[in-house]
Amino acid sequence: MGTPPLSPWAVLVPTLVLVGLWAPCVVSRQPNFIIILADDVGWGDLGANWAETKETPHLDQLAAEGTRFVDFHSAASTCSPSRASLLTGRLGLRNGVTHNFAISSLGGLPRNETTLAEVLREAGYSTGAIGKWHLGHHGHHHPNSRGFDYYFGIPYSHDMGCTDTPGYNLPPCPPCPQHSTAARVARKDCYTEVALPLLENVTIVQQPVELGSLARRYAEEAERFIQRASAKGQPFFLYLALAHMHVPLVPPLPPAPGRGVYGASLGEMDALVGRVKEAADSLGRGSTLLWFTGDNGPWAQKCELAGRLGPFVGAWQRQRGGSSAKQTTWEGGHRVPALVYWPGHVPASRTSQALLSILDIFPTLVALAGAALPPNRRFDGLDVSPVLFGWSDVGHKVLLHPNSGAAGKVGEIEALRLAQYKAFYTTGGALACDGSTGPAQQHHPPLIFNLDRDIQEQEPLDVASREYQAVLPAISRAYAQALQDIAADNVSVADYSQDPAAIPCCNVQHVGCRCHGATRDPHVESRTPWLCL
């Protein structure tokens, strides 16, 4: 696993690549793009990656018909920063999004950052976002103001607000008060957050959202969006950000024996992906690129409701307490599953070990659409279309891993990957299932692991060894160059201020916010428009 072995005595100073690896690939027409982003999914949650997983037949089929990337990484190990990087091709230290936005946040992804949707819409694409946004919902931070013609989904995570049918959570979320006169007085045992809203464009169509039907509705909306764009003869970009697997939704059926709640939810996500792939194929095989990946690793503190790390257990950290998954810079925090499917273009049944990132989605899709990258800014992602097409297996020479809340200052570059070597300047664990958190530790010189020999990150190289001494100068130069490049860039700053008035609420007269007829399907029954903000 990882890139081919690199002799430490032959390590050269890498150049931080900020432009594409290849000239834009020529296609006969503008392709359609579907990006499916799973939430808190583990590398081992796909059967194609981890033989113990049995709940993902559709995703496994997607891997068999496309290319599987086994050394693919999120740009951060938590929600908002990872999503901001996907849509901008830039790390949080550049785009300003270094930690999560709240339900009362006034800001979001800075307005001076250009999103992938804005670039593609300018290039003639119909653009749609379905699912979790979490990049600001107040005012002009809403998806409809960030390049998306259509939006349907929830503005943040589905455990950031109460619901009448709570998702599986630890601790559990008690139901909101029922709609009645008595409901106007909050009970002490009720979750005090405002009910989770479901939006269609800027209208709240359901509050609280019915979690049990959310997967079905996402699939239906994705199918409708694809059909509408196809009917207009317009290329489309669909960004489908799933609620799965953050905390499992209510399973539609009791879980099968031995499957458990998490397994049932994983199966539900798999079926949703299968429906979207089927809709894409119905347009004609070869016209749509589908890219499935995750925003970060599993949320370990959720215990049996957290995803599977596969072999990326961060053993060094585990010995010192705390989780080595979500929020951390250990492999389990940012190495995520990735599959790309595009019949006739992306090879089938191929496994690539190229070092790639969620940052690469932006420049790759822009190149494939025949569009141009926004000027006056630098990008951390690469145009990796040669890797997708099987012409190359060379990705990043250097990949940066920012702190996402486990230790140190959020957004700061605390780990760096150079070929098979990974250097930690700061280590720390996130909250684990047992309640422990590993202490933050500074490392000067850095801890260095050789991932080709030690994928579990168990034993760092001996600082006195010839291998360590040979590779350290190249790592140090790459780290210094990266920080200098970011400091010289056109850097944005996000507004993280909060105000209760920014919380989406369809009816402030009701405790927790509640819409009349909230169980209606807006596509089959009339509804009163409740404007969001």
Catalytic annotation present for 79: yes
Of residues 336, 335, 322, 291, the one with CA closest to residue 440: 322
Of residues 368, 460, 412, the one with CA closest to residue 123: 368
From 25, 79, 513, 532, the catalytic residue: 79
C-alpha 73/C-alpha 296 separation (Å) is 8
C-alpha 411/C-alpha 328 separation (Å) is 11
What amino acid occupies position 488?
A: A
Tell me the chain's radius of gyration from C-alpha atoms. Answer: 22
Of residues 351, 138, 116, the one with CA closest to residue 241: 116
From 73, 134, 244, 396, the catalytic residue: 134
> The tokens 């590398």 sit on which residue?
43
E strand map for 133-265 = 150-153, 198-200, 203-206, 236-241
Our measurement of the distance from residue 178's CA atom to the centroid of its chain's CA atoms, rounded to an integer in Å, reads 34
Burial of 134 (0-12, 13-18, 19+ CB in 10 A): buried
Catalytic annotation present for 134: yes
Q: Which residues pair with 67 in a beta bridge?
A: 340, 350
C-alpha 455/C-alpha 71 separation (Å) is 11
C-alpha 260/C-alpha 173 separation (Å) is 19
Q: Is 184 helix (H, G, I), strand (E, B) or coil?
A: helix
Show which residues are catalytic: 79, 134
